[in-house]
């Protein structure tokens, strides 16, 4: 009695090398990619680059609005917002990228801050920020 047929023995003795060939090709590609030498066969004198220093940060101009309505542009005192329009326009013509930071007292009326924002818009000030203090989390 035959326990195993002849065809079953032949299939067990043959080795399937297809996955091994796939692995060999993948490794070959990885080695080729990682070992390509840089191209230095031509003698070139490359130009040198000058070290570019960063531009100094732009000076911020502060508009301070106190609780009593007194306004300061940097250290110049103004009675109301429309009075500082000419000064803002002059600053804007000197520096087209003018940066203004508005600081208002916590007791300042919103209409005074709004008037300062309107004057900045009339003077075409491109960068207007409102200064605030961080809220202390307890």
**Is 122 part of a structural domain of the chain?**
yes
Give the CATH number, domain containing residue 116: 3.30.420.270
For residues 72 and 78, is the Cβ–Cβ distance under 8 A?
yes
**Is 37 part of a structural domain of the chain?**
no
- Which range of residues forms the domain containing residue 72? 61-130
Parallel, antiparallel, or unpaired: how do β-strands 99-104 and 61-65 relate?
Answer: parallel
The pLDDT assigned to 79 comes to 84
Mean pLDDT over the full length of the chain: 80
**Is 11 part of a structural domain of the chain?**
no
Residue 107 scores a pLDDT above 80: yes
The pLDDT assigned to 24 comes to 92
Residue 27 scores a pLDDT above 90: yes
Distance CA 52, CA 117 (A): 36
Helix (H, G, I), strand (E, B) or coil at 65: strand
pTM of the model: 0.54
Count of structural domains within the chain: 1
**Is 135 part of a structural domain of the chain?**
no
**Is 126 part of a structural domain of the chain?**
yes
């Amino acid at each position: 009695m035959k326990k195993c047929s002849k065809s079953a023995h032949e299939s067990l003795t043959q080795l399937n090398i297809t996955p091994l060939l796939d692995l060999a090709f993948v490794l070959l590609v990885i080695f080729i990619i990682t070992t390509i030498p840089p191209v230095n066969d031509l003698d070139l004198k490359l130009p040198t680059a000058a070290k570019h220093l960063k531009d100094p940060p732009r000076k911020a101009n502060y508009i301070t609005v106190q609780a009593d309505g007194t306004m300061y542009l940097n250290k110049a005192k103004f009675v109301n917002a429309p009075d500082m329009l000419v000064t803002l326009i002059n600053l804007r013509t000197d520096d087209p990228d003018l940066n203004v930071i508005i600081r208002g007292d916590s007791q300042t009326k919103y209409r005074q801050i709004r008037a300062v924002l309107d004057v900045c818009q009339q003077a075409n000030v491109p960068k207007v920020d409102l200064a605030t203090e961080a809220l202390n989390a307890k």
